[in-house]
Structure 1
Amino acid sequence: MVTTAGSKIPRTGIPFPKSEYDRRQQKVLEAVARAQLDAILVTAPGHLRYLTGYHGFGGYFAPFPLILAPGRAPVLVAREYDAEAVRAEGCVDEIVCYTHQRDVAKACAKVLRQYRLQDRRVGLELGCWNLAPADVSAVLGLCPGIKAADASHLVASVAAVKSSLELDVMRQAMTITDLAVRVFRNVVREGVSETEVYAAIAGEVSKAGGEIWRSVTLVFGDRTKLPHGVPTPHAIRKNEPAMIEIGGAKHGYAAGLVRSVVLGQHRESESLHALSVEALEAAIATIRPGTSAKVVDAAVRKVIEQSGRPGAFRHRTGYQSGIHWTERGNLSLEPAAEDILEPGMTFHLPIILFGETGHLFGCSEHVVVTDSGVEVLSRTNHKLFYA
């Protein structure tokens, strides 16, 4: 294991000033104190990027834990192979490296002992991506005195409230999303395939200097029965529906949006879309500071239940957005969620409904909670588009 605090390669990948990351880390340490913890090991990819700037592409190999403790310098435990990228594209000065997968626990334990945390209360992101049970067992085996606590929601609760810098990035990402949706609406016509439409979108986004988040749903016809369907050579025919869920991205911040098209007529999809719009607008009308997440979810479910089709809605109303679109452990708008909405929080609200024949159809908005209510980020209306 190698410890290093310097690099000959200049930092090139940090999208925000170092002071912004210092602020975020301090907010997390304040949350650590409120949770009566002595430290936290941050391992979720999105949370690491939020706190360090490093994109985390090397983390598929094994966790790259960030160890935060009050009064101590942040330490990032990373694979030695990725060390130069971690230094150049992140803001953490102290890096402890490991070479083989079996060594990550040893490297973590070394830092925990140096910081005298081997018998203290340490938060672990047990409900997030990238931390396997074997990783937890290995660390606790080397530091058996640690009192481990689940801190899955801790960083997420801090990251949920965006700074003005982050909101500016989210708005830039949504500009790209709106462009992608406009291309989608303009290109869908009889005989065109999903892959052809996506290629047209990617081309226009590239011309604009933008980036598309890697997860894209684009489905035509009977393929709208597939959740999270990726583009294929399948072509659309007359009187069929089309739906896209796509997000422009900036510095890892994605601004997702769901929009739908009907080529001709498709009564089931048209009916589902009308209901999704009514439910979506009920959610937007409910969002304001001080409201709990479950109240927003309840507003949507009330509309669906009153329609006589309660089985059409089979997921949560929305989720916290920002870095990493699909981070586990982030705040959700769902029935049991007690989280209180605050100004600066951003949410994606995808109201996608199931029809009797299995078609999925709907729309969404991306919103920011403001001091007085809510701001909708997209400039593309959520009405059903007919091609």
Structure 2
Amino acid sequence: MATEFPPIPLTGVPFPKAEYERRQKKVLNAMERVGLDALLVTAHGHLRYLTGYHGFGGYFAPFPLILVQGQKPTYVVREYEMQVVRAESCIDEIIAYTQQHDFAKVCADVLRRYGLQKRTVGLELGCWNLAPADVSALQAQLPELRISDATRVIASVAAVKSELELEAMRDAMTSTDLAICAFQQSLREGVTELEAADTIEREVKKAGGELWRWYSLSFGDRTKLPHGPPAHYAIRNNEPAIIEIGGAKWGYAAGLVRSAVLGRHPEIESLHDLAVAALEAAIAAIKPGVAAGEVDAAARSVITRSGRQQVFRHRTGYQNGIHWAERGNLSLEPTAADLLEANMTLHMPIVLFAESGHLVGCSESVLVTERGAEVLSRRPHTLYRA
């Protein structure tokens, strides 16, 4: 007697296929502008943006989506992952490789089929999930292939969000705001970071929301550790707390940084005021046509005028959306020349280093509009005092 199995719960792609086709067409247009005959997309966030599939199976070797003008997109994936890629992507043309060493040969075969073995092909050389050995192996298969760095091609397209994407970002921020509220309400003497995290996750889940899979939360002296995950540390009176967390919807994350003090902490309170002033200056500088470096300069000038330049040790912000952020995307940093456009979304964490070593700060995720910046959160970025 044959065993009957229950049906597999498939999530499918979150957006209509037409939305992905629109994105692919915009990328193809961008490729044409920079002189690429083909593009191998390997960054997980960019794969999800163009196909719906999260791309995490690509830990084994890259899962390139091959885009060629006039051809259907071709996904080259590990055979082990074929079923999930078919179920959770919008791509019909899927070609498999089995072992890690097969990756370059199978990719090369696809490029030969399209007559590209002597043409210019873009690789995302500045993104995660493409090792130098992968590039070398592909070049060995196709010695006359001209490889061009295409790190920014998809980033420049994905920076400008559609209405469907903005809806996802707003829904994600609803969960973020709920998480921040739960964090603040959990602060009492003796509560541990893990207990606060449990409260946050429970409240978001109860409301039907979702959190991005990673977040940082720390109390007391552990706030000296950037990006610290929650641990068994219990907060004491007159200690600070900091959280960086984001709700998620369909792979889109909307992050926020918020700080708090249980009782009083004059050093943290003073430095947080500076973080607020820098953040608000950066938000005020945002509008279409402004260079990313100008936004960074607006925040940095506030800190410079305070005479405490050493407290700010990173960029002002970055393009956000799918997968929180992707290496190689637009960055709000000194001298960055990228021009802001309407419907871009940005996360701007102003986190400062106190003399004591504690980290304190705040952030906003914002939408660039024709009039300036729309702050997506409804939670104030002032210091929370418990």
Pair in the same fold by TM > 0.5: yes
Question: Counterpart in 1 of 2:329?
Answer: 330
Question: Counterpart in 2 of 1:295?
Answer: 294
Question: Counterpart in 1 of 2:203?
Answer: 204
**1:129 counterpart = 2:128:** yes
Distance in 1, matches of 2:105 and 2:266, equals 60
Distance in 1, matches of 2:271 and 2:100, equals 48
- The count of residues paired between Structure 1 and Structure 2 equals 380
**Maintained 8 Å contact 2:318/2:325:** no
Tell me the alpha carbon deviations over residues 247-302 of structure 1, each in whole angstroms, 9 at most, x when there is no partner.
Answer: 00001100000111101111111111100000000000000001000000000110
Question: Counterpart in 1 of 2:165?
Answer: 166
Distance in 2, matches of 1:13 and 1:334, equals 37
Return closer, same or farther for 1:243/1:10 CA change in 2, 3 Å cut-off: closer
TM-score after normalising by structure 1:
0.97
Task: Give 1:87 deviation, angstroms.
Answer: 0.5
Cα RMSD between the aligned structures? Answer: 1.2
Instruction: Specify the SS of the correspondent of 1:297.
Output: helix
Distance in 2, matches of 1:136 and 1:87, equals 26
Distance in 1, matches of 2:296 and 2:58, equals 34
Structure 2, gaps ≥5 residues long = 1-6
Runs of 4+ in 1 over 3 A off after TM superposition: 8-12
After TM superposition, the structure 1 = structure 2 runs for residues 1-387 of structure 1, keeping only pairs within 5 Å, are 12-387=11-386
Distance in 2, matches of 1:339 and 1:87, equals 36
Structure 1, gaps ≥5 residues long = 1-7
Distance in 2, matches of 1:337 and 1:117, equals 34
Distance in 2, matches of 1:303 and 1:24, equals 38
| 2:184 alignment partner AA | R
Tell me the alpha carbon deviations over residues 73-122 of structure 1, each in whole angstroms, 9 at most, x when there is no partner.
Answer: 10000001100100110001000100000001011001000011110011
Distance in 1, matches of 2:11 and 2:344, equals 28
Distance in 2, matches of 1:269 and 1:13, equals 46
Distance in 1, matches of 2:9 and 2:150, equals 33
TM-score after normalising by structure 2:
0.97
**Maintained 8 Å contact 2:366/2:376:** yes
Distance in 2, matches of 1:266 and 1:166, equals 40
Distance in 2, matches of 1:205 and 1:326, equals 22
| 1:97 alignment partner AA | A
Tell me the alpha carbon deviations over residues 326-348 of structure 1, each in whole angstroms, 9 at most, x when there is no partner.
Answer: 31111100012110000010000
Give me the identity figure in percent. Answer: 67
Tell me the alpha carbon deviations over residues 111-151 of structure 1, each in whole angstroms, 9 at most, x when there is no partner.
Answer: 00001111001100001010000000000110111110100
Distance in 1, matches of 2:151 and 2:302, equals 32
